[in-house]
Amino acid sequence: MFSLTSCQAGTACGSFPLDDDTRRCMVSTIDELVHTHYPFAAQKDVDLELFSKTLWSAVDDSELDDETFLTRLANALALLSDGHTRLERYQLREAGVPPVRLALRGGQVVVRQASGEAGLRAGAVVDTIDGEPAAEVMRRAVTLVRRGEAGEVMLRGSESALAGEVGTRVRVTTASGESVELRREAVLHEPFARRLGDVGYLRIKTFGFIDDLDRLDVLVNELLDTRALIIDLRDNGGGFPSVSDGLFGRLVGEDARAFELVDRQGRVYRRMEAPARGRTYQGPVVVLVNEGTFSASNYFAHRMVEEGRGVLIGGRTGGGAASPDRGLMLVDGLWFQVSTYVVQTLTGENTEDGLEPTIVLPVERETLEAGDGARRFSVEGDPQLERARRYLEGLR
């Protein structure tokens, strides 16, 4: 969930290449910020002493090159089991991903979805990504995210694992012996709307642009006369809560109940409001979710449940009920942020570990449409979307 993080002038510790003093400063800074702010140690049963020991072990090995050192830091951060507390490496001009989505299942990496051109089938087990064990790459990608000056917004987990410069290639090998070279493509984020008979469909890939709400208002206005609405938040990695709250405000006639941002000591930092705004969409609403529904999109789904405004259909969400308000540039091109406040209801409930849908249907479309999702959109072969349409048909 995006937040206005702490500002700083310059870097906290230095620049690349990393000398011993710079590395020690980086580790010390991360350790202090985590111990001061990280709010989920008790909820997730995290051993912060083990975290610190693992983190500082990276400094003890002076033979590590810079990339291996960063990997060691990422491995330590993975012990926190928190998608918001992470390093972000700004080393790409325009970041992109191939038309493939992966998932970590019981220690194995499997293909969730792939375009017809990718040469991979859903369910295939992936052994390596560019020669590295796939499970290690996946785990590291959550806490060492590759970013660019342009291209991607809010990529996380499996998408981050395959991310790189647009136009470059990444090689994936499977347990069955297949070796496939995938081309990284530009990531398109524009929301779009469609009419499925008398049902409106709104696809939102991210809340990561502050002006997204203007685009969403236009699309909601186009669908005001539909009988029902499907909002597709699958693989929406989050963004600005002000945008998701603004969208929610179009679905209710009265102001929604507040949520709170609470620090690790239980102190309320501020309340998050979702006031009714604009012309209200009156019809029933279904929200499609999956494990990629994270942060601000998970928060939107939580609001839907809390207000009883609609139903969720799909797989359990990816959670991410935190606001990473504390962050800084450790060295040139390397940002660190830590979960600072828990996003919770007034009764103290949070969905950091995910939210179970009203109707659980984890089976997803196997074929991922490459390129422009709006242009290539199809309802065929999408069991979650089809289930949503059947549910709404039953409400006639």
* Domain edges within the chain: 192-319+354-393
CB-based contacts of 360, cutoff 8 Å, min separation 6: 314, 315, 316
In our burial notation (b when 16+ CB lie closer than 10 A, e otherwise), range 207-234 reads: bbbeebbebbbebbeebeebebbbbbbb
The more confident residue out of 155 and 172 is 172
Work out the average pLDDT over 338-342. Answer: 98
Element (H, E) at 76: helix 66-78
Q: Residue 375: its pLDDT value, please?
A: 58
Residue 259, beta-bridge partner list: 272, 345
- Tokens 């929406």 identify what position? 236
pLDDT per residue as tens digits for the range 303-315 = 999 999 999 999 9
- Exposed/middle/buried for residue 197 (C-beta within 10 Å: 0-12, 13-18, 19+): exposed
Looking at the predicted structure, is the pLDDT value of residue 4 above 80? no
Looking at the predicted structure, is the pLDDT value of residue 138 above 70? yes
Closest of 87, 36, 103, 44 to residue 350, by C-alpha? 44
Looking at the predicted structure, is the pLDDT value of residue 46 above 50? yes
Distance from C-alpha of 350 to C-alpha of 345, rounded to nearest angstrom: 7
The reported pTM is: 0.93
pLDDT per residue as tens digits for the range 159-173 = 789 999 999 999 999
Work out the average pLDDT over 256-271. Answer: 97
Closest of 154, 278, 303, 151 to residue 219, by C-alpha? 278
List the CATH code of the domain at 192-319+354-393. 3.90.226.10
Looking at the predicted structure, is the pLDDT value of residue 244 above 50? yes
Q: Residue 6: its pLDDT value, please?
A: 44
Q: What percent of the chain has pLDDT over 90?
A: 80
Distance from C-alpha of 145 to C-alpha of 335, rounded to nearest angstrom: 10
Q: Residue 209: its pLDDT value, please?
A: 85
Residue-wise DSSP of 295-335: THHHHHHHHHHHHT-EEEEESPP-B--EE--EEEEEETTEE
The more confident residue out of 395 and 316 is 316
